A and B are shown apart, each in its own frame.
Chain A
Amino acid sequence: MNWINAIVQGILVGGLYAMYATGLSVSFGVMRLVNLAHGDLAVGAAFLASTFCLSTGLSPFFSVFIILPIAALFGIGLQLVVFNRVVGADPAFQIVATFGLSITLQNVLLQRYAATPRALNIGDFGNRSLKIIGDDVVVGWFPLTRFIVAIVMLVALSLFVGRTRLGRAFRATSDDPDTAKLMGINIRSVYVVAFAIAVTTVAVAGIFNGMQTQFSAGDGPALLIYAFEAVIIGGLGSLWGTLCGGIVLGVAQTIGAEMDPGWKQLVGHLVFLVILLVRPTGIFGREELK
């Protein structure tokens, strides 16, 4: 029964990884931009939420109403000022720009909040749980909520990309940006919207991560690795693949932890490497790698 519990917990953790990975999947899918500062943006959002909670005394859940619009505006500004200059250019410029942003964000956070870890307090809600199969399979309300939020986020994004005019422009730009321009699409504007979505979704992930565990200014790169692994396992640019990738990673980690508490990260990384070896395009990947 412990194994079933481990799988269930892994699926729920996968929701958080999918949240992390969604923004990365959007920015890569639309712009072919690999944002190395993705994890730092999540940590930044968690710190902002922490400031909000300390200054208002409200629950971190309320912080999303303030943090998400700030995240969207920050994403718009970043894309306009920095990333629109490097999208479509030599990938080396993208790496330098996003790595530079990562270092800058980490140092700004360190300067502003010091090295002391913080957490977002959600009180008793973090301890409440739901018994699924007796005492053997127990699901926490918080991980369940987080998983549901991840699903809602992905459904909303999927409907946006699949059913709306701007969503079609996203897909057309992703397929062939030069031809998209010939359709009258201002691809720079599409990139701005895409990056605003990417930053907003990773801000949600950062806040949920902060509710679950402590975070500090230097945590961004570790979070980026989980996001990367989930995106690559699921298939680059595929939203539902991202959820699948997050779940595979989460389940691998919890099964690893079940075998030996020290193997949690190791098994996750090994599964990632095996999938990269066996199916380099990821589970839902469409394009063949050359």
Chain B
Amino acid sequence: MALLEIQHLSAGYGQFQALFDLSLQLQEGQAISVIGANGAGKSTLLKTIAGTVEAISGDVLLDGISIRARASHERVIEGIALVPEGRRIFRSLTVRENLLIGGYSARSGPWNVDSILEVFPILENFIGRDADRLSGGEQQALAIGRALMSNPRVLLLDEVSLGLAPIVVKQLYGALPIIRGKGCALVIVEQDTNQALAASDHTYCMLEGRISLEGKPSELTREQISQAYFGVGAPA
């Protein structure tokens, strides 16, 4: 049984539908990536899994049990954590408080402030400072650490590399194997196709709210990905 299963999911914002009959699976300990151009529906997919966007139809199953009716804060307790696009750090909280608030409804597990500082030692220098004084890369490390504080079974990462220098992105992606090693499955949404493919076992390419291609990164050709990404010759 898959850890997380998306079944024929449709979702959107008011009259605007962003996802159409979308299905995918995530196994225990696996990392999958979701790639696609701007507006493909990648972030909406993560928000629907996290419960901040309501599904129109279809289902989200965790361990085979539907969590579609659960509120977003309840899904955290079930083991789903989202690192939102744009970091969304709490500005009036210090770095330590941001981490602690991530563990507000924590499950038991390996992650706590100390273990997160081991993975992201750069945060230790700023632990007592207001979080809004961090650089973009430090804020992204904090956002990932904050999400890990709930000891999730599934970590949803939305555009981790957005707006960051390549060296910072490399450092952040370097932490993902450690996170996986502690039993957390990953869903990586990225526009940076190379990073996403390198970090995942299985990839889904999205186009206009639908899956246009899927497969193991090593088995997909650059041409196939380009077609699925930009829609040239993609299935209707």
Chain B residues whose CB sits within 8 angstroms of the CB of A85 once the complex forms: none
B interface residue count range (under 10 / 10 to 19 / 20 to 34 / 35 or more): 20 to 34
Chain B residues whose CB sits within 8 angstroms of the CB of A129 once the complex forms: none
Contact call A168/B93, Cβ cutoff below 8 A = yes
Contact call A169/B104, Cβ cutoff below 8 A = yes
B79 to chain A, nearest CB (A): 11
The contact string, 1 if C-beta is below 8 Å from chain B, for chain A 187-214, is 1000000000000000000000000000
Contact call A171/B93, Cβ cutoff below 8 A = yes
Chain A residues whose CB sits within 8 angstroms of the CB of B104 once the complex forms: 165, 168-169, 183-185
Chain B residues whose CB sits within 8 angstroms of the CB of A171 once the complex forms: 90, 92-93, 97
Partner of A184, one of B90, B91, B97, B150: B150
Contact call B73/A176, Cβ cutoff below 8 A = no
Chain B residues whose CB sits within 8 angstroms of the CB of A22 once the complex forms: none
Contact call B90/A172, Cβ cutoff below 8 A = yes
B88 within 8 A of A: yes
A286 to chain B, nearest CB (A): 8
Q: Report Cα–Cα, A178/B90, bound state, in Å.
A: 11
A193 to chain B, nearest CB (A): 14
Chain B residues whose CB sits within 8 angstroms of the CB of A286 once the complex forms: 92
Contact call B101/A182, Cβ cutoff below 8 A = no
Q: With A182-B76, A182-B82 in contact, do A176 and B88 touch (Cβ < 8 Å)?
A: yes
Contact call B71/A184, Cβ cutoff below 8 A = no
Q: Please count the residue pairs between chain A and chain B whose beta carbons lie under 8 angstroms apart in the complex.
A: 67
B84 within 8 A of A: yes
Closest to B81 in A: A182
The contact string, 1 if C-beta is below 8 Å from chain B, for chain A 159-182, is 000000100110110111011111
Partner of B71, one of A172, A179, A181: A181
Q: With A168-B97, A168-B101, A169-B101 in contact, do A181 and B90 touch (Cβ < 8 Å)?
A: no
Chain B residues whose CB sits within 8 angstroms of the CB of A181 once the complex forms: 51-52, 71-73
A186 within 8 A of B: yes
Contact call B52/A182, Cβ cutoff below 8 A = yes
Chain A residues whose CB sits within 8 angstroms of the CB of B146 once the complex forms: 183
**Number of A residues contacting the other chain (C-beta, 8 Å)?**
19
Q: Report Cα–Cα, A165/B71, bound state, in Å.
A: 21
Q: Report Cα–Cα, A54/B51, bound state, in Å.
A: 53
The contact string, 1 if C-beta is below 8 Å from chain A, for chain B 172-189, is 000000000000000000
A277 to chain B, nearest CB (A): 26
Q: Report Cα–Cα, A171/B93, bound state, in Å.
A: 7
Q: Report Cα–Cα, A286/B146, bound state, in Å.
A: 24
Contact call B105/A184, Cβ cutoff below 8 A = yes
Contact call A184/B77, Cβ cutoff below 8 A = yes
B127 within 8 A of A: no
B19 within 8 A of A: no
Closest to A187 in B: B73
Q: With A169-B104, A171-B90, A171-B93 in contact, do A179 and B73 touch (Cβ < 8 Å)?
A: no
B60 within 8 A of A: no
- Max count, chain B CB within 10 A of own CB: residue among A171, A182, A185, A186: A182
Q: With A181-B71, A184-B76, A186-B73 in contact, do A175 and B92 touch (Cβ < 8 Å)?
A: yes
Contact call A182/B84, Cβ cutoff below 8 A = yes
A228 to chain B, nearest CB (A): 23
Contact call B91/A175, Cβ cutoff below 8 A = yes
Q: Report Cα–Cα, A40/B110, bound state, in Å.
A: 51
Chain B residues whose CB sits within 8 angstroms of the CB of A187 once the complex forms: 73
Q: Report Cα–Cα, A179/B76, bound state, in Å.
A: 12
A176 to chain B, nearest CB (A): 6
Contact call B101/A186, Cβ cutoff below 8 A = no
Q: Report Cα–Cα, A169/B104, bound state, in Å.
A: 8
Q: List 28 A-B contacts (CB under 8 A).
A: A168-B93, A168-B100, A169-B101, A169-B104, A171-B93, A172-B101, A175-B90, A175-B91, A175-B93, A179-B88, A180-B90, A180-B101, A181-B51, A181-B71, A182-B52, A182-B76, A183-B73, A183-B76, A183-B101, A183-B102, A183-B104, A183-B105, A184-B77, A184-B104, A185-B73, A185-B101, A185-B105, A186-B73
B residues lining the A interface (CB < 8 Å):
50-52, 71-73, 76-77, 81-82, 84, 88, 90-93, 97, 100-102, 104-106, 146-147, 150
19 additional A-B residue pairs with CB within 8 Å, beyond A176-B88, A185-B101, A186-B71: A168-B104, A169-B101, A172-B93, A175-B93, A176-B90, A178-B52, A180-B90, A181-B51, A182-B73, A182-B76, A182-B82, A182-B84, A183-B105, A183-B146, A184-B73, A184-B150, A185-B73, A185-B104, A187-B73
The 4 nearest A-B residue pairs measured at CB = A184-B105, A184-B76, A179-B88, A181-B72
